[in-house]
Amino acid sequence: MRTSLVLLSARLLDPVTGEFLPQTALAAVDGRISALGDDREMRALADASTTVVDLKGAVVTPGLVDGHIHPVSGAELTHGLDLSGCTDVDAVRAALAGAVRDLSPGAWLHGWGLDPNVFGDRPVRTAPFDAVLDGVPALLLLFDAHSMLASRRALELAGVDGPRTFDQATAEVVCDADGRPTGLLLEDAACELVERVAPQPTRAERLDRLAAALRAMAATGLTGGHVMDANGDSLDFFAELDQAGRLPLRLRVAPWCQPGTDADGVRALVEGQGRGGRLWRTAGVKIFMDGTVDNGTAWLEQPDCHGESRHAFWPDPEEYTRIVGELHRAGVPTATHAIGDAAVRHVLDAVEKARASGGRGVRHRVEHIETVPDDTLRRFAELGVVASMQPTHCCDFTRADHSDNWSRRLGEPRASRAWRCRDLHDSGAVVVLGSDWPIAPYPPLGVMAGARHRRPTRDLSLPPHGPDQALSALEALRGMTVNAAYAAGEEHEAGRIAVGHRADLTVLAADPLTVPATELADVPVLLTVVDGEPTHRAAQV
């Protein structure tokens, strides 16, 4: 068999031990690491068709994997006006005014990344922007992607003039005391009322945007991602890119199961498991147990300071429990979005009940876990439930002094139990790290850095939020290598540099275990390899 890749003069880092392997070179055949040795031995395995790269002492890690991404929806949602850098209402208003000046008559304005903290203590609504958006149909996605602001013209075009009821229990067209919409739409069902009347990009445009986003991910060192949706034609997009050789990441895809899914729908989810190609496959099911703290749709054991976040996403939480049990018995792992303490507890209860019927080898996950009490921690390890977390959400959307929207809503002591990565790790849970892109940036070095320093990315001189919950450099690396492989049931073939394992590799200009946390995000990515083929190669390599 042909040796497709040889890497020479490398420092091969083992994320299990935190040490460098004694070998300094590797070879890959058919997408797998076929040999480890010294430069002379590996060079002898190459022929004229082999890609041979002299790394000159660069550090090679197992391929970095994002434990929670939304590439298709992210590629669509991040097309438009980026509001993520706005820190107050005036900045948002100025950004909107500039975009409006460039709009064609009748065109829609799309914005994304809006942080509710810009409103301070005032309600999140479109009124502060009415003058700028007069007559302009606009949709402004909040950073959590669970809510958006619609301008008066957009609501008018969609025929939304009052409250609605939805199958999603936490979905809402937020209205004032007189029953008039404020512009705030909570959860997908409410957002879709307006989104469906906005102009849609062509299929070709959507495919090209996705391909560009995936290429950009590869350039940051990502070799794979756990995709937490498969809506619409997402699977067809992955298949098309894969067949054309345009898929630069290995993707594990979990389709959604929404409230109201009937027996036929659950059966279809089970039967769809394993669909895929060379670099992607469907594995698992994504379910929502609640919304978000910031928009008052999380499920908390005690309401937030506004009396909100009191309900589950499922009108009947026991129906969720029944479906988890059915999927468990079919051998299908679940990944449940659960942010509030009541939501997390219910998911763990559901898994415990499912495991009582057998099938203990099915690895379920909880996504986000933003606030949990002490008595919940140990249950992750006891039930074999993976803790999938996004530390940069804590870094960039909360503050050490708890003056941010998330912390104010929760109040003490819950605001002090933010993103308990350390406590979950120490309790024995397998902690997987990710970005939840497009909610937060996807570069994996930034995710690992955030898990270590827990400081706002915009200003690393600011104090950390919950420094006692920081992970070590090695623990953070494991969160995007061996632990990600374990969560996917792939520890026998991924997450380490070993003969027989996948040749998915990330090459860095410095050792991620010794670079200070506040400098890690800036370490150059020299080479990214997926299935034995380079997907990104820096000019100097």
How would you write the pLDDT of the chain (541 residues) with one tens digit per residue? 899 999 999 999 999 999 999 999 999 999 999 999 999 999 999 999 999 999 999 999 999 999 999 999 999 888 899 998 898 999 999 999 999 999 998 899 999 999 988 998 898 999 999 999 999 999 999 988 889 999 999 999 999 999 999 888 889 999 999 999 999 999 989 999 999 999 999 999 999 999 999 999 999 999 999 999 888 899 999 999 999 999 999 999 999 999 999 999 999 999 999 999 999 999 999 999 999 999 999 999 999 999 999 999 999 999 999 999 999 999 999 999 999 999 999 999 999 999 998 888 899 999 999 999 999 999 999 999 999 999 999 999 999 999 999 999 999 999 999 999 999 999 999 999 999 999 999 999 999 999 999 999 989 999 999 999 999 999 999 999 999 999 999 999 999 999 999 999 999 999 999 999 999 999 999 999 999 999 999 999 9
C-alpha to C-alpha distance for 326 and 474, rounded to whole angstroms: 37
pTM to 2 decimals?
0.92
- Of the candidates 437, 374, 500, the one whose C-alpha atom is nearest the C-alpha of residue 74 is 437
Helix (H, G, I), strand (E, B) or coil at 160: coil
Q: Are 275 and 281 in contact (CB under 8 A)?
A: yes
Q: What is the DSSP-derived secondary structure letter of residue 468?
A: G
Q: Are 462 and 455 in contact (CB under 8 A)?
A: yes
Burial of 540 (0-12, 13-18, 19+ CB in 10 A): exposed
- Of the candidates 499, 494, 498, 482, the one whose C-alpha atom is nearest the C-alpha of residue 530 is 494
Q: Are 393 and 419 in contact (CB under 8 A)?
A: yes
Amino acid at 173: V
| Residue keyed to tokens 């275990």 | 513
C-alpha to C-alpha distance for 255 and 334, rounded to whole angstroms: 10
Confidence at residue 121, expressed as pLDDT on a 0 to 100 scale:
85
For 237-267, give one letter per residue: b (16+ CB within 10 A) or e. bbbbbbeeeebbbbbbbbbbbebebeeeebe
